[in-house]
Amino acid sequence: MAVALPGSVLRFGDFELDCGRFELRRKGQPLRLERKPMELLILLASREGRLVTRTEIAEQLWSSEIFVDTEHGINTAIRKLRYLLRDDPDDPHFIQTVTGMGYRFVAPTIAVEPQSAEPLNAPEIDTAAAPSTPDPAQLEKATPTAAPRKLRPRPAFRLSAAILIAILLLALGFRRQLARILHLSAAPAISSVAVLPLDNLSGDPNQDYFADGMTDELTTMLAKDSTLRITSRTSVMRFKGARRPLPEIARALGVDGILEGSVARSGNQVHMTLQLIRADADAHLWAESYDRNADDTALPDEAAQAVAKRLHSTVASISAARYVNPAAHDAYLHGRYLWFSDRLEESGAWFQKAIAIQPDYALAWAGLADYYEEGIAADVLDPRTSIVPGEQAAQRALELDPNLPEAHQAMGAMFFIDRWNWADADREILRAISLDPHDGDRYWLLACLQQILQRDAEAIETEKKAMEFDPFSRPYALAWFYENARQYDAALAEIRLRLEANPNNPDLLALEMDTWRRMGNYKEAVGAWAKWHIVTGDPQSAESLRRAYDRAGARGFVLWQLGRRLMQSKTRYVSPVELASYYAQLGDKERTLALLEEGYRQHSTDILWIQQDPAYDFLHADPRYRSIVQRTGVPPAY
């Protein structure tokens, strides 16, 4: 139990912590707080700014517990306290984390007298004058209408009542604990789980890549080892460091269960703790701690199998585990961490390092293929120099591990982006989905293929499925498919819906601009594009493009965009097809066709989408335009 004085009341900020009543109040209103977080708050607040170590917290509050993992119990309690106190761990006003040590309560506290349960001016009783036994005759003369005196329970009765209440509380607590241990709850079985980002407890921010990598691998392994629906890693990453209650996070992700934990790597040792929570009741179902040598790359797989077994959802392994050099694995984790952090250009070097350490590491080859294919598709890498190494990486990954979903996904992307071979792309993507049907990226890739083949309705439905698994990694995705299908009202409605939760998301703002542009509403397009520049830290450009529009209308806006991209093309790759789109908006037929030809020669992926953009509609009757479309192999839409 906490060490505060039982009757003390501590005041800090807008809060009062009544240790005697076990109650936290804000501006006089009691707040709901569970037992463990309340005990932890009392312990921290009563120390008057002194450090309380995690070891001390565990010994004080969890020493008698046999089921809950103490390390993660502390993390959960701290998160709940911060949420209730509205405290930011990066700028704490109440609870400060001392990395690698423990916590310190930093808010100034004032001890105040607790309110007494008895009136302050209660009349004193003259015990000497009071008769020891009441006179029955006098009792009969009492006035019938007089209010009866409030009788106080005798000490023996008070003791009996206290014992009875204690027995009831213990019984109720034991029953709840027993129900948890024996799983007597009538709640339906857990069918979907989100693996929250593991906390990095190493005390070194440079180890974030390792914690995120373990999260990613645990998510992947759990999807392989179970029949559960597993939320994609990219969606759960938005809750990294979040101080929101677990039931609220679960509702946002649409899952029944939450797997959360922490990992610390020190020297050659790794310590990982995990606990499984039933989200609707915030009830603890399972916990485990793992201490392994850092060279043990099978840890995520072992933990995933334990979780799947606990939930009775295990499936047979597809293949035996392959040896992975620990240094190669570490380099791969670095690459994936940069990849998911939108630092694509940095990720390639780490995948290459992993391959240099272990040339037969299939997952690293798949990562390198992803680097090339994504770079080509996003116009970050020049296809003229990136297609060949991208194809080689994808082929090598599949040769090394024919049952690796990531390898088939890489091959599908290669056939789609590099070779424009729709049949083989479709086959490889579907094979990747069959091996791991829980990854939203594969459905996204399939939807892209369906849309360029003019199968808009299928593409939209496939993307909806992708967003079931990965609702937050591409908040713009469904609206983008609506836009390409020329369903502009639906696209704008979807964008507005997503902007309610992400008002400053640059991808949504860019798509909003482009949707207004395709509708011919350049005034709204300018507004969205100006906001995009503001949220990306460039207010000068926002003002500049507004002036360009005020001077020359839509033409001024298009020329402003074209000028910027021509300037950027001197120092980085810019797709000729993107430049062609600006000339198409200006009605410059010859320059548009010349740039589309150059885009075809460079094998720019943008050329596959030109039929979805109404800016090119005026070229549909031109034989040169039709020749370009025919050579790509995309079905004509004219």
Q: For position 367, which CATH number holds?
A: 1.25.40.10
Pairing label, strands 257-266, 192-195? parallel
104 and 208 housed in the same domain: no
CA dihedral 581, 587, 593, 598 (to 10 degrees): -40
Check if the beta carbon of residue 372 is closer than 8 Å to that of residue 411: no
Dihedral over Cα of 44, 47, 50, 52: its sign: negative
Cβ 375 vs Cβ 415: under 8 Å: no
Q: The domain containing residue 252 runs over which residues? A: 192-310
Instruction: Let me know whether 198 and 106 are in one domain.
Output: no
Q: What is the distance between the alpha carbons of residues 77 and 74, in angstroms, rounded to a whole number?
A: 5
Number of structural domains (the chain) is 3
CA 168 to chain centre: 41
| Percentage, residues of the chain above pLDDT 90 | 45
Instruction: Please tell me whether residues 27 and 82 are part of one structural domain.
Output: yes
Q: 55 in a domain, yes or no?
A: yes
What pLDDT, on the 0 to 100 scale, is given for residue 315? 64
Residue 171 lies in a domain: no
Alpha-carbon gap, residue 141 to 282, rounded angstroms: 61
Give dist(CA 272, CA 309) in Å, integer: 18
Q: Is residue 537 one of the residues assigned to a domain?
A: no
- Whether 337 and 306 map to the same domain: the answer is no
What's the pLDDT score for residue 586? 97
Res 320: pLDDT: 55
Least confident of 74-78, 150-154, 409-413: 150-154
Calpha distance 403→503 (Å, rounded): 41
Residue 128's SS3 state is: coil
Task: Note whether 386 and 277 are same-domain residues.
Answer: no
Confidence band of 14 (pLDDT split at 50, 70, 90)? confident
Residues 298, 202 share a domain:
yes
Q: Is residue 624 part of a domain?
A: no
* Strand partners for 112: 9
Whole-number mean pLDDT of the chain?
Answer: 83
- The per-residue pLDDT for 127 is 35
Least confident span in 126-140, 303-317, 573-587: 126-140
Model pLDDT, residue 81: 87
Mean pLDDT of 145-158: 40
- Check pLDDT > 60 for residue 118: no
Which residues, 6+ apart, have CB-to-CB distance to 53 below 8 Å?
101, 102
> Domain check: are 304 and 333 in the same one?
no
**pLDDT of res. 187:** 54
Average of per-residue pLDDT across 195-223: 85
Q: Token pair of 93, please?
A: 């006003």
Does 426 lie in the same domain as 354? Answer: yes
Burial class (CB in 10 A: 0-12, 13-18, 19+), 536: middle
Pair 422, 439: CB distance under 8 Å: no
8 A C-beta contact, residue 22 and residue 40: no
Please tell me which residue, 188 or 5, carries the higher pLDDT value: 188
Distance (Å, rounded) from C-alpha 422 to C-alpha 325?
A: 36
Collect all residues with Cβ–Cβ distance below 8 Å to 316 and sequence separation of at least 6: none
Q: Which of 52, 80, 111 is the last residue of a domain?
A: 111
- Is the pLDDT at 526 greater than 90? The verdict is yes
Per-residue pLDDT at 226 exceeds 80: no
How far does Cα 124 stand from its chain's mean position?
A: 64
Please give the helix or strand (H or E) that residue 292 lies within, else none: strand 283-293
Distance CA 228, CA 191 (A): 5
Across residues 155-178, what is the average pLDDT? Answer: 45
Q: Which residue has the higher pLDDT, 69 or 55?
A: 55
Q: What is the pLDDT of residue 234?
A: 73
> Residue 430 domain-assigned?
yes
* The predicted structure's pLDDT at residue 149: 38
- Where residue 63 falls among pLDDT bands split at 50, 70, 90? low
Ranges 112-116, 143-147, 315-319, 519-523, most confident: 519-523
Do residue 295 and residue 332 come from a single domain?
Answer: no
Q: Is residue 431 part of a domain?
A: yes
Domain end, chosen from 90, 111, 132, is at 111
Instruction: Give pLDDT, residue 65.
Output: 54
In a domain, 603, yes or no: no
Q: What is the pLDDT of residues 544-578, one digit of tens each?
A: 999 999 999 999 999 999 999 999 999 999 999 99
* 379-398 residues labelled b (16+ CB within 10 A) or e (exposed): bebbbeebbebbbebbbbbb
Q: Which tens digit of pLDDT belongs to each residue from 425-471?
A: 999 999 999 998 888 899 999 999 999 999 999 999 999 999 888 87
Q: What is the pLDDT of residue 130?
A: 38
